Each structure stands twice: as structure tokens, then as C-alpha cells.
Amino acid sequence: MVKIPRISLTLLLAFTGALASHSAAADPVSSDSIIPFPVHQKRLPNGLQVVVVPMQSNGLAAHWIVVRTGSRDEYEPGRTGFAHFFEHMMFYGTKKYPRSTYEELVTRMGADSNAFTSNDITVYFLNVATEDLDQVMAIESDRFKNLSYSQQGFQTEAGAVYGEYRKSRTSPFFALYEAMSTTAFQRHTYGHTVIGFEKDIKAMPTMFDYSRTFFARYYRPDNAILVVAGDIAADRVFAQAEKHYGDWKPGYVPPKVEPEPEQTAERRVDVAYPGRSLPMIWAGYKCGRFDPGDRIYAASFVLAELAFGETSDIYRRLVLEEQVLQSIDADPADSRDPGLWLVRAVVKDSAKIDSVMAEIDRTVVRYRDMPPEAERVAAVKSHMRYSFVMRLDSPPHVAGRIARLVGTAGSVEAIEQMYRTLDAVTPADIQAAAKKYLVAERRTVAILRGKE
């Protein structure tokens, strides 16, 4: 499953204050934490981070493992698409648990099993009954340590991935995403989509030997994080993790990702979509990487809601009152390397594209010229916290949000720091974020027009 939209932190940040760092014997989180569950963590001798969140859940548990490798790590020319490819290959099984046996065990447990890939991470998860957690760790750890697939199986799955790419191309959102990526990033690996360049995917069946080296470099415990949430005891989960994952050999080799050169002029790309689609505008401003201690970076998430969220002036006028737009929003980058602060709009009439762009520019100028009202800033930050807490209603939701955030940040401590920084954001910080990030010379505008 390719994750086309970025994993937005706008709502996720609300819960990060709850993620206090604990050892197996640590006390629960303090009463002023946003998330009402204790969070424990431990690093195994081989480098694997284990995060455990006990919570009442009627005998249910969620087992999520994050490999901190995504399409970003595909730095070698002609070798894009392998992070997503291994999301497929990991279900081929091992000599101990072949594919058919793995599938039979998962079915027998009644588990919800799946995976997804993004720019920065690949995530595998099973949501199960607590009583099956030891069995889950046995089969999951085995495939991470001993994945086995034949050349024929590799080639078959490579063909399936190319089919997935062609299917994705029928989506106007994917077409726009692909055009934005390749135009905005001309050297950094964010320049190709998660699924990869088409020419590389077509050539993938010939790269069986290379696939082995990719797996050996990146699928290592010192590049992975295990998150378990549910009706569990932290000490027992840590013991199970030691038992099943403790002999996974370290040896992660970091990728040689080239930084993107400074952009000094606006770039534009028109996407002619062959099917029927409303026109779409994406304006991507170059911005910073995930930086939990930077108040200006944290302020950019509040800025997104104030300027382009559902309570913003532009949303009220163009979506609700004048009905020029079907939707508009903003998605700040939450990536491991500097990414895009993205404004997205779906326009109902192609004749209004230029006027919508002018409205976006006016909104940007407004927030660059003056700080927002303190009351609105406080209301948005409060809403972000409340919205997230209301979603923490099951082990998969809790484990999933921790896994995504820790996968990007690399540590629970960084996420906790991000919340503290967000809580300290002022109206002046939000104006500073608009001045720093929303710069026309550092943006890429992609416009899609379909058959009307």
C-alpha cells in the first residue's frame, strides 16, 4: 500500500505531550499528560527500539514495526521503488513460516495485517488478541530476520508492482503528486514518488541480486522501532521482544542522500490529465525538516490551520459562501529532510484557477504582514489537542500514531519535545513561520486540468 498523501502532523501533534520516556520499571506518565496511558520504552542490545503502551482494551493488542526506510533512501540511480517493493516481498514468508503458513496463522488468529510505505518509513502491523501476541512476535521477527523469496517470486511481484503503478497513474491525485515531486526536487530523493520512477519499476525484474543488498542494508534492528499497545504488561512485552527479536543482527548502512540545492525561482508545471477531473492546484513551498525544538517550524502547523483550515477566511469564502472550491487545505512537511509546505485546492471551474491562485497569494501576504489574533491561535492549538485525544480509542489508533511519529522523529523524546515547542508557539512565531517558509521564489506550483 503506497502512502501518497504525507502523514500530516497537524492533528498528530496533539498527542505528543503524552509520550514521556520510560524504562520497563518506570512510573506511568504524569497526570497532566494528554494521553491517558503510560508509555514505556527500551532499546535492545542490537539497537531495536521497543515502545510499549499498556491500556484497557478488552483483550486486544496492536503490534506495529517501523523500518526507518522509505523512498527517501533510494539514492542510487535506476534503483527507485525498492522500499515499496519490500512492503510486498515481506509477505513471502520464510523457510520456517512459508507464505501459506504465515497467511494461515494470521487468519486463524483473526488478525488485521497490513503494511504501508511513505517517503521516510515502511510500516508493518498486526492487530490481534493479546493472547496471540507471542505468536505474532514469533512470525514477525522471523520474516524480518530470515525473509526468503525465489527469483521467480521476485519477478512475479515486480510485475505486480508495475501493475500497481499503472493503476495509480489513473488517479488525478497521483498524477499531480508525481509531477510535483519531480519538479520541486531535482537532486534530493524526494524527487521520485514512493512507488518509484516508471522506468526503474519496469526494469525491476532484472534486479534480483540488488534486492538482496537492499534488504541487508536497511532491514536491521538498529533501523527499526517496535510499538506495542493494548491489554499488555510492559515487562512481559519487553521479555517477548528480547526472546524473538534479540538475535536479529544489527548492521544498518545509512543512505547517501544528496541535499536539495537552494531554490531561487518559482517553478510551475501543468498536468494534462486524460480523464475527467476537477482542476486541482498544489502550491508547495520549500520548508524545513522535522525539528522538534524549532518554534518557527512548530508554528507552521498552527499557521496551516489558521490560513487554510476549515475555520480560515479563505475556506469560508471560497468553499462555503461562493462555492468556487470543492476543498482547500494546507499540509506542512513532517519529513526527515527538508520538504514541502503544501497548499492544495480543488477548483470547480477551470476559469477560476488564476483567481484562486491570487486568493492563495493574498492569504500568504496577510500572514506574512501581521501576526494572527492570540485568541485564534489559542483556539487552534486547543482544537488540535482535543481532536487527537478523541481518536485515541483503540490499540491500533494509539500504536499507529506513535509508530508514525517515532518513525519520523527517531525517538520518543523528540516527539515529546515537539509538543512542548508547539505549546509555546506565539502569534509572532506564526508570522515568522509565514515569512520564513511561504516564499514565492521557493515554491513549486502544479496545476492539473482534466477533461471537463
Q: In the structure, what pLDDT confidence band is assigned to residue 33 with cuts at 50, 70 and 90?
A: low
CATH of the domain at 408: 3.30.830.10
Looking at residue 422, its pLDDT comes to 87
Q: How confident is the model at residue 238 (pLDDT cuts 50, 70, 90)?
A: very high
In terms of Cβ atoms closer than 10 Å to its own Cβ (0-12, 13-18, 19+), residue 174 is middle
pLDDT at 308 > cutoff 80: yes
Q: What's the rounded mean pLDDT across residues 121-140? A: 96
CA pair distance 35, 56, nearest whole angstrom: 13
pLDDT digits (tens, 9 = 90+) for 332-366: 999 999 999 999 999 999 999 999 999 999 999 99
Q: Name the average pLDDT for the chain.
A: 90
- How far is Cα 158 from Cα 420, in angstroms, rounded to an integer? 44
Number of DSSP helices (H) and strands (E) in the chain, helices first: 16, 11
Find the range with the poorest average confidence among 16-30, 210-224, 422-436: 16-30
Residues 123 and 240 in one domain: yes
Q: From CA 59, how far away is CA 145, in angstroms rounded?
A: 28
145 burial type by CB count under 10 A (0-12 exposed, 13-18 middle, 19+ buried): middle
Burial 154-173 (b: 16+ CB within 10 A, else e): beebbeebbebbeebeeebb
Average pLDDT over residues 190-203: 96
The per-residue pLDDT for 132 is 96
What integer pLDDT is reported at residue 23 of this predicted model?
35
Domain check: are 35 and 171 in the same one? yes
Check whether residue 27 and residue 161 sit in a common domain.
yes
Residues 296 and 210 reside in one and the same domain: no
Q: How many residues does the chain have?
A: 452
End-to-end CA distance of the chain: 30
DSSP, collapsed to helix, strand or coil, labels residue 149 as: coil
- Tell me the C-alpha distance between 35 and 28, whole Å: 11
- Does 204 share its domain with 341? no
Q: What average pLDDT does this structure show over 130-138?
A: 96
Residue 452 confidence (pLDDT): 65
Q: How confident is the model at residue 17 (pLDDT cuts 50, 70, 90)?
A: very low
- CA atoms of 112 and 365, how far apart (whole Å): 47
Residue 125 inside a domain? The answer is yes
Are 118 and 184 within one domain? yes
Give the count of domains, the chain: 2
pLDDT of residue 22: 36
pLDDT digits (tens, 9 = 90+) for 239-273: 999 999 999 999 999 999 999 999 999 999 999 99
Residue 132 structural domain: 9-245
Span 363-375, average pLDDT: 97
pTM: predicted TM-score of the whole model, two decimal places: 0.89
pLDDT of residue 273: 94
**pLDDT over 90, % of the chain:** 81
**Mean pLDDT value across residues 404-428:** 86
289 and 206, same structural domain?
A: no
